[in-house]
Chains A and B, each alone.
Chain A
Amino acid sequence: GAGVSQSPSNKVTEKGKDVELRCDPISGHTALYWYRQSLGQGLEFLIYFQGNSAPDKSGLPSDRFSAERTGGSVSTLTIQRTQQEDSAVYLCASSGQGSDTQYFGPGTRLTVL
């Protein structure tokens, strides 16, 4: 594709519900990242996938958060039993082999009521 796409663009959910956020990286990019951006804050690293290697999950804030990447392409970030503090914009980025530049998607704005 032309760029990184994410869906949905907006998600409103009730506290306690599970949500799934999707990321389609740039075709051929081997690395995929998830970040979270709260209002007025910088981006907070969540998880990193590189090829077939085990993902770096060191940024996930709790065990309610998980992510998978199928076939080395599309990734899904799942948040179980959502809490109000999970409200933020969730950004996905991808980068090519050997590249340090990250290309970001437009983000998914999650609101937990």
Chain B
Amino acid sequence: AQSVTQLDSHVSVSEGTPVLLRCNYSSSYSPSLFWYVQHPNKGLQLLLKYTSAATLVKGINGFEAEFKKSETSFHLTKPSAHMSDAAEYFCVVRGRSSYKLIFGSGTRLLVRP
């Protein structure tokens, strides 16, 4: 069965420092992986999507994620955090059905001034 594990429930960084949000996945076949972001009082927004093309995926707002099959990881990074990045981030894997998304438990990112 497909699953994702987000390794940190909360991450705190200073503005201008790098961001690393960790995600490991489990899949019996080549996975499709996603990162979504949820800002306070807003719906989820797709940040980026991996579908077995390039292993390094660039998303919106300067975020990127690298698919590492050997480590079963799909970590989200950003070189320099901005105050507006404070939000909850969800790592997601597509299930066996093409419409089925399986969400991680979320990582709340706090950005300190």
The answer to whether A and B interact is: no
Residues of A within 8 A of B (CB): none
